[in-house]
Amino acid sequence: MSIDVISWTKEKEHQLDINFLRNCRQFGVIPKFLCFTIQHADNVDVLAIRKRLLKSALNKRCKEKATLANQLTKDIQNVRQKVTGLDWYILKRAIDFNVERISRNFIAGHESKLKRLTRNSTLPFRSDEIIKNFSSYQLSEDEENVLKYGLSFGIQPPFLKKSDVLTSFELIHKFLKGNLKDSADAGVVKTQLAYLANNYVISHKPSTTDLRKYKILKKLKRNSSIVILKPDKGNGVVIIDRQAYNEGISSIINDETRFQKIKIDPTLRREGQLQRFF
């Protein structure tokens, strides 16, 4: 029978390492342990190699974490078979306390490193800093890692509508055309913008990470049992059961001290008054 704080802590540290490397990749920065000199390579090649090394380091850490988690699960099962429920409760509380204390120092170190790499920009290391889940739905680890960046965080879409891109560039052309000093340059500007628009559409290649995030968000959107909202303040994420959400909305709407039923929709009349005013 063997289970100790070290094995528990190692599994936790591996998870925090994974979060750190994912945050580095999200910010497009390279941790210092991968910034060694690469001979006979230009800046573009060096960056590509370091990104590949970062991906390999992340995959390696994930595999090591999975191995540690499996071994820890086996150790826990062996211990629980040999101790009483009360003894296990006391032991787990003591281990959790020590692991949490050690983890705080580990997180602080990672945050300090990331601030230096990103010039004081940070991302949340723990999902519970951002996500408040009041629903009965249990988020997966991947879902938490996507949502912890907030609802205003953008990712590349899996595909672009060419018509939308061309419309945007048409608006740019219209603006530039009206501000040219020499009208003879209008044709050149139009040609260059058309080239940029088509090149933008052709070169759009979302990363595997973005495609994976998009798939996760799409799955959450299809989940009709929950509602994902922004809090009244801040950039967090609040998740509640749809039934509770509908009941809350209904109670607000049915509150006669706040709302009053009307027989005629005054929208069109007010729009006409507003238009005549201007």
End-to-end Cα, the chain, rounded Å: 82
Q: Domain coordinates of the chain in residue numbers? A: 5-125
Percent of the chain with pLDDT over 70: 95
Q: How many CB atoms lie within 10 A of CB 86?
A: 8
Q: E-strand spans in the chain?
A: 131-133, 226-229, 237-241
Dihedral sign for Cα atoms in the order 7, 10, 14, 20:
positive
- 10 pLDDT band, cuts 50/70/90, is confident
Closest CA to 111 of 98, 100, 123, 99: 123
Of the spans 19-28, 42-51, 243-252, which averages the highest pLDDT?
243-252
Give the torsion through C-alpha atoms of 85, 90, 93, 96, to 10 deg.
-90
pLDDT at 242: 93
d(CA 258, CA 256): 5
pLDDT tens per residue across span 253-263: 888 888 888 88
What average pLDDT is seen over the chain? 84
> In angstroms, what CA-CA distances link 25 with 58, 163, 169, 189?
10, 32, 31, 37
**Residue 163 scores a pLDDT above 80:** yes
Residue 216 has pLDDT above 80, yes or no: yes
At residue 4, the pLDDT reads 61
Mean pLDDT (whole number) for 170-188: 81
Which whole number is the average pLDDT over 248-252? 88
Q: Parallel, antiparallel, or unpaired for β 237-241 and 131-133?
A: parallel
- Work out the widest C-alpha separation in the chain, in whole angstroms: 88
Higher pLDDT among residues 1 and 38, named by residue: 38
What's the mean pLDDT in 236-259? 89
Other CB atoms within 10 Å distance of the CB of residue 127: 19
* 33-92: pLDDT as tens digits: 888 888 887 888 888 888 889 989 999 998 998 898 888 888 888 888 888 888 888 888
Split at pLDDT 50, 70, 90, the class of 197 is: confident
In contact, 249 and 263? CB cutoff 8 Å? no
| pLDDT of residue 2 exceeding 60 | no
Beta strands in 110-205 (DSSP E): 131-133
Share of residues in the chain with pLDDT > 90 (%): 13
Query: Which band of pLDDT confidence, cut at 50, 70 and 90, is reported for residue 241?
Result: very high
In this predicted structure, what is the pLDDT of residue 243? 93
pLDDT score at 43: 83
pLDDT higher than 90, residue 227: yes
Query: For the sheet containing 237-241, what is the strand order?
Result: 131-133, 237-241, 226-229
pLDDT for the residue 5: 66
- Per-residue pLDDT of 78-131, as tens digits, reads 888 888 888 888 888 888 888 888 888 888 888 888 888 887 666 665 677 788
